[in-house]
């Protein structure tokens, strides 16, 4: 089924912009002599973050594994949805925090983990929890963990190179460097990389909303859950320490309290827009299950 909002195409276009930014940096630093070094560094960083994504996220949230006996409702819902999608059952975790949230991570469907906080398990009813878990499972099935890992690696590499330019420079005129261009790149590249990374994250959230609603066949359940999460995360935000900031893009709702300029640099699209899209899906009728 084609997506009305062309989220996949938007993601590909945003990655094209990220690659263009990397090539631009390579072109201004010593006349492009180090462009292949930058590309190799990006590949290594991507591989590391992708391979270790599950362990990093689970550790950051201090989550513990749960069985069917420990969390019967969560286990039953995930088993039903993964069976409907003809995918393996992921490992399940619960994070001992009152902040209501959930995330999925892992290299692929066979090495995936879904985590709910104790707060979200108390906040949502069964129908709403089903909507949230459908959303999280679609992040796994759509390979969004790979997408976010690649985007984060690109952004990190671009920022590191820009910092290098600021402190050490990247060459001189005789060797093909352009000091003015390098200075401009050092200031602007990290901002551009962050904006593109955030745009990719927001696009993947829209996609998981749409596909998760199709998996459950119930867009309004997820819409209701998102409305509760919007209020719940404002009442009980997570502390904005470095470990949690690094994994916040994986969560279904922005876990931090923020307003004003913070909204411009949020990893998640506006909750009102997400709810509006889900309401539109429900209004169209005929939502097809997997």
Catalytic residues: 136
Specify the residue for token string 């990247």: 170
Specify the residue for token string 């066979």: 110
Contact, 116 vs 91, CB < 8 A? Answer: no
Contact, 144 vs 9, CB < 8 A? Answer: no
Q: Is 212 helix (H, G, I), strand (E, B) or coil?
A: helix
Distance CA 288, CA 290 (A): 7
Tell me how many degrees the CA angle 101-14-199 measures, rounded to the nearest 5: 30
Residues contacting residue 10 through CB under 8 Å, at least 6 positions apart: 199, 203
């Amino acid at each position: 089924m084609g997506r009305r909002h062309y989220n996949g195409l938007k993601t590909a276009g945003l990655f094209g912009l990220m690659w263009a930014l990397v090539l631009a940096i390579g072109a201004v630093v010593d006349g492009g002599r180090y462009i292949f070094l930058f590309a190799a560094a990006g590949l290594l960083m991507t591989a590391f973050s992708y391979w270790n994504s599950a362990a990093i996220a689970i550790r950051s949230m201090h989550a513990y594994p749960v069985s069917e006996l420990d969390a019967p409702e969560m286990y039953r819902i995930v088993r039903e949805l993964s069976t409907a999608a003809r995918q393996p059952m992921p490992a399940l975790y619960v994070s001992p925090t009152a902040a209501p949230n959930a995330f999925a991570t892992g290299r692929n469907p066979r090495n995936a983990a879904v985590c709910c906080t104790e707060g979200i398990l108390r906040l949502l009813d069964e129908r709403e929890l089903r909507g949230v878990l459908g959303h999280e499972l679609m992040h796994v099935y759509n390979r969004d963990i790979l997408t976010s890992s690649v985007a984060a690696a690109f952004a990190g590499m671009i920022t590191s190179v820009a910092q290098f330019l600021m402190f050490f420079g990247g060459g001189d005129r005789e060797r093909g460097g352009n000091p003015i261009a390098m200075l401009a790149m050092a200031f602007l590249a990290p901002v551009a990389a962050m904006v593109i990374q955030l745009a990719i994250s927001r696009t993947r959230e829209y996609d998981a909303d749409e596909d998760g609603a199709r998996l459950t066949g119930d867009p309004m359940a997820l819409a209701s859950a998102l409305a509760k999460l919007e209020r719940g995360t404002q009442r009980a935000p997570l502390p904005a320490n470095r470990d949690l900031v690094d994994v916040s893009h994986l969560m279904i709702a922005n876990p931090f309290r923020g307003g004003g300029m913070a909204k411009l640099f949020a990893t998640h699209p506006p909750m009102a827009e997400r709810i509006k899209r889900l309401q539109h899906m429900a209004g169209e009728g005929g939502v097809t299950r997997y």
